[in-house]
Amino acid sequence: MVVNPKGRCQCKDDGVKFIPPKRIEKIEVYPPSSSCQHMEIIVILKESGGQKCLNPESRFAKNLIKNAQKE
Could you say whether residue 2 binds a copy of itself (CB under 8 A)? no
CA-based nearest residue to 58, from 43, 36, 44, 37: 43
Member of 39, 45, 51, 60 binding a copy of itself (CB under 8 A): 39
Distances (CA, A) of 19 to 5, 6, 8, 33, 60: 25, 26, 24, 25, 8
Q: Could you tell me which stretch among 1-9, 11-19, 55-63 binds a copy of itself (CB under 8 A)? A: 55-63
Q: Could you tell me which stretch among 1-9, 11-19, 32-40, 47-55 binds a copy of itself (CB under 8 A)? A: 32-40
Q: Which residues pair with 42 in a beta bridge?
A: 28, 53
Q: To the nearest whole angstrom, how small is the minimum distance from the Cβ of residue 70 to a copy of itself?
A: 9
